[in-house]
């Protein structure tokens, strides 16, 4: 049964979220935080951003179409 056509198809799931990084609720290290320190080479700093699934009721935008519309500002 596992080799029959309906069961042999591979699927790939993709979830698209677009975060408004200007939202004050997004608390991440930013370039201005680093360059304020004269003894730190901003080009040498690396870090990982781990955003939660939900920041608030409007952030992030979920779904490829809605993310593209927000980027292109098709709907306000």
Terminal Cα-to-Cα distance of the chain (whole angstroms): 49
* Residues contacting 19, CB < 8 A, separation 6+: 26, 51, 55, 59, 60, 61
The helix, strand and coil proportions of the chain, stated in percent and rounded to the nearest 5, come to 30, 10, 65
Q: What is the pLDDT of residue 2?
A: 60
pTM listed for this prediction: 0.67
Question: Does residue 71 have a pLDDT over 80?
Answer: yes
Question: Does residue 49 have a pLDDT over 70?
Answer: yes
Domain boundary assignment for the chain = 24-76
């Amino acid at each position: 049964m596992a080799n029959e056509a309906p069961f042999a198809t591979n699927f790939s799931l993709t979830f698209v979220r677009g975060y408004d990084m200007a939202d004050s609720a997004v608390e991440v290290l930013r370039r201005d935080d680093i360059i304020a320190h004269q003894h730190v080479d901003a080009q040498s700093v690396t870090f990982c951003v781990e955003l939660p699934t939900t920041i608030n009721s409007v952030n992030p935008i979920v779904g490829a179409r809605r993310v593209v519309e927000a980027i292109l500002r098709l709907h306000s």
